[in-house]
Amino acid sequence: MLMLVVLASILIAAVTVYQYREEAEDYHHDRLERKQQNIKKHINYVLQEALYPVQTSNIPLIFQDEIYEINRIHNLELRFYDLDGALLIKSKGFIDSDTTNTSVKPYILKSLGASSQKTFIEEFNTDTQNYQSSYSFITDSNLEPLAILNVSYIEEDGFIKDELSESLSRLALAYLLMLAIAIILAYFLSKYITKSLNIISQKIIDTKLNKRNKRIDVSQNTTVEITNLVKAYNGMIDELEISAAQLAASEREAAWREMAKQVAHEIKNPLTPMRLTVQSFQRKFDANSPDIVEKTKEYSNTLIEQIDTMSAIASAFSTYAQMPAQKDETLNLVKIAKLALDIFNEGYIYFTPQAAKIIARFDRSQLIRVVNNLVKNSIQALEQSTQENPRIDVRVFMEDTFAAITVEDNGIGISEENKDKVFEPKFTTKNSGMGLGLAMVKSIVETYGGTISLISTKDKNTIFKVLIPALP
């Protein structure tokens, strides 16, 4: 709308300028004709009172003084030519586009002869001024052509330009006022028109899948287009609510399913070594052994530790299937790691601590689970390999300000493409298992500000390294 107002003002200004120019040309043309007619009347009067015979050759004699009087009275420069275009006489201050030309140009003579009014007007200009030069015949008393009269007229446009400038100024003020009014009207009209659209757009921006979205109510005087848009939005909100409810139910079901898998995995981990421990106890039990009490106590402590771990998992699962709450305990990592390894009966597991005590803050049961998962992962790797001399080395040592636990095996190793995936949930290269063990270990270690890393060579060895902030 604003652009239309501006374009209209420019167009009207251009039309106004064009109209003024046309009017100026018509004005000067009519004025020249009037001047020429008055001069001819004056010339005819002079011819009637002439003392010389009225003929072409006597024109210079007849008008030798009168030409200046005509020039003074009418304020115009004039020339007389014979019928062949040769100059006869002229006023002294004559102005022409070519002051050296003393004859009428051939094309002027031709045009003058062909004109029904026996008049020809030529326009020319200099750097600062526009001129009109008219050519017409002077006749004697018998209306026979006697000579050619040439009158030069200066187009003085000062008053016309002033009037044009004043007119354009008034037009500019009027259109500036109209533009200001148009801006104000456009602002309020756009506000009114877009009010409903702004409400709808803000509602769409605020629409979220994880919250309850409000429907839009429209008034009765709303346009049909806006009403249809609001109906479409409200229909989308209804479908979104249904989809959100279905998605929430699906997510809850998936979460419970995932939690059930993790709990089953965590419970299964201690059950296997417990079974092996009980079988070993049955096989090696000797009531007459002198250290039977000590062995019984050792086996009992091992089973109790695993039972406590399963009990903690079962308790947590009963309270919305969460993993056991973390407990910050000051632990001797050497002692806890040794205790976690006691449930394994494989003879190729070697434990090498750097010192008798390496202290860190960790949850006791979760540390046991970390060591158990890493060792069990190594055992399964060795079972899949054809290694004649299987070996698992578990080390506990200090590295700068961190307590380090490494579990190294000489099993099948891990390929390059799988190294970045081993800590992802559900990733596994084994035929059994759910792929949650290493993901759980990573989560536990990072919870206590630690890190876990992997170094492995395909068909050679694998080293898992856990770093935990140590206490002095």
Neighbours of 340 (CB within 10 A): 26
Q: Which range scores top for mean pLDDT: 23-32, 35-44, 274-283, 349-358?
A: 349-358
Which of 107-116, 248-257, 289-298 shows the lowest mean pLDDT across its residues?
Answer: 248-257
31 within some domain: yes
Residue 215 lies in a domain: no
In whole angstroms, give the CA distance from residue 161 to residue 24.
9
State how far the Cα of 187 lies from the Cα of 184, in Å rounded to an integer. 5
- DSSP annotation of 402: E
Is residue 150 within 8 A of residue 121, CB to CB? The reply is no
User: How much is the pLDDT for 97?
Assistant: 46
Enclosing H/E stretch for 399: strand 392-399
* C-beta separation of 131 from 123 below 8 A: yes
265-274 pLDDT, tens per residue? 767 777 777 7
Last residue of a domain, one of 162, 187, 208: 162
Residue 468 lies in a domain: yes
Report the pLDDT value the prediction gives residue 127, as an integer from 0 to 100. 61
Most confident of 38-52, 206-220, 290-304, 330-344: 330-344
3-state class of 148 per DSSP?
Answer: strand
pLDDT at 218: 64
> Residue 434 pLDDT > 50, yes or no?
no
Q: What is the CATH number of the domain that holds 371?
A: 3.30.565.10
Lowest pLDDT segment from 164-168, 267-271, 328-332, 362-366: 267-271
Look at the block and give the residue holding tokens 């004043």.
166
Q: Does the pLDDT of residue 203 top 80, yes or no?
A: no
Virtual CA dihedral for 245, 249, 254, 260, nearest 10 degrees? 150
Asked whether the predicted pLDDT for residue 24 surpasses 50, the reply is: yes
Binning pLDDT at 50, 70 and 90, where does residue 157 land?
low
pLDDT at 461 over 80: yes
295, part of any domain? no
Confidence of residue 335 (pLDDT cuts 50, 70, 90): very high
The answer to whether residue 333 scores a pLDDT higher than 70 is: yes
Give CA separation, 287 vs 39, 278, 355, in Å. Answer: 159, 15, 35
Beta-strand (E) ranges in 34-178? 77-81, 87-90, 119-125, 130-139, 145-155
Secondary structure of residue 122 in the 3-state scheme: strand
pLDDT for 352: 93
CB 106 within 8 A of CB 124: no
* Least reliable range by pLDDT among 3-17, 97-111, 385-399: 97-111
- CB distance 70 to 39 below 8 Å: yes
Phi and psi dihedrals of 442, rounded to 5?
-60, -45
Question: Is a pLDDT exceeding 60 seen at residue 5?
Answer: yes
DSSP 360: E
* Domain end residue (candidates: 127, 144, 162): 162
* In-domain check, residue 302: no
Residue at a domain's end among 131, 162, 193: 162
| pLDDT at position 208 | 65
For residues 433 and 21, the model is more confident at 21
Give the separation between CA 360 and CA 365, rounded to whole angstroms. Answer: 14
**Torsion of the alpha carbons at 439, 444, 449 and 455, rounded to the nearest 10:** -40
pLDDT, mean of residues 386-397: 90
Q: Residue 73: pLDDT above 80? A: yes
User: What is the CATH number for 100?
Assistant: 3.30.450.20
Q: Does pLDDT of 159 surpass 90?
A: no
Mean pLDDT of the chain: 79
**Which pair of tokens denotes residue 376?**
């069990």
300 compared with 244, residue with greater pLDDT: 300
Find the radius of gyration of the CA atoms of the chain: 57
Q: Do the Cβ atoms of 70 and 78 come closer than 8 Å?
A: yes
pLDDT of residue 298: 81
State residue 139 phi and psi, 5-degree precision. Answer: -115, 155
What is the pLDDT at residue 396?
Answer: 95
Q: Cα angle vertex 141, ends 136, 142, to 5°?
A: 90
The one-letter amino acid code at 405 reads I
Per-residue pLDDT, averaged over 442-464, amounts to 87
Q: Assess if residue 443 is contained within a domain.
A: yes
CB within 8 A of 56, min separation 6: which ones? Answer: 82, 83, 88, 146, 147
More confident residue, 366 or 284: 366
Q: What is the mean pLDDT of residues 56-82?
A: 85
Q: Which of 93-107, 108-122, 397-411 has the highest mean pLDDT?
A: 397-411
The answer as to whether 304 is a domain residue is: no
pLDDT the model gives residue 413: 84
Q: What is the pLDDT of residue 312?
A: 67
Choose between 372 and 74: higher pLDDT.
372
- At residue 221, the pLDDT reads 64
Residue type, 213: N
Using 50, 70 and 90 to split pLDDT, how confident is the model at 432?
A: very low
Mean pLDDT value of segment 23-48:
81
| pLDDT value of position 83 | 86
Of 178 and 263, the structure prediction assigns the larger pLDDT to 178
- Does residue 237 sit in helix, strand or coil? helix
Select, from the ranges 6-15, 24-33, 115-124, the one with the highest average predicted confidence (pLDDT). 6-15
The CA distance from 221 to 236, in Å, is: 23
Total domain count for the chain? 2
Between vectors from CA 92 to CA 86 and to CA 96, what angle results, nearest 5°?
60
Task: Give buried/exposed letters for 224-239 (b at 16+ CB in 10 A, else e).
Answer: eebeebbeebbeebee
| 124, 127, 128, 129: CA torsion to nearest 10 | -10
Q: Can you give the three-state secondary structure of 297-355, one letter per residue?
A: HHHHHHHHHHHHHHHHHHHHHHCCCCCCCCCCEEEEHHHHHHHHHCCCCCCCEEEEECC
Residue 86 lies in a domain: yes
pLDDT higher than threshold 50 for residue 431? no
Q: Give the domain range for residue 353.
A: 326-472
pLDDT exceeds 90 at position 227: no
